[in-house]
Homo-oligomer: A and B are copies of this chain.
């Protein structure tokens, strides 16, 4: 950001190309990570529900 030296059109196109390459990959990774995240959230919810059910059953056993 401190660099204010003029950059040639060709260099500017080259750095843009390189950034596009990087951006496309980071975008892909973000989408993959978001998908994994959704899967993990569902898994957490399912496990939590299972534990709640078990807890309720145990309570019944103790009370009954």
Number of copies of this chain in the oligomer?
2
CB distance from A30 to the nearest CB of B (A): 5
**How far apart are the CA atoms of A27 and B29 in the complex, in Å?**
10
Could you tell me which residues of chain A, from 1 to 27, have a CB within 8 Å of some CB in chain B? 7-9, 12-13, 15-16, 19-20, 22-23, 26-27
A41 at the interface (CB under 8 A from B): yes
Interface string of A17-58 (1 = CB under 8 A from B): 001101100110110011011001101100110110010000
**How far apart are the CA atoms of A23 and B51 in the complex, in Å?**
41
By the criterion CB–CB under 8 Å, are B51 and A40 in contact? no
CB distance from A47 to the nearest CB of B (A): 4
**How far apart are the CA atoms of A52 and B20 in the complex, in Å?**
47
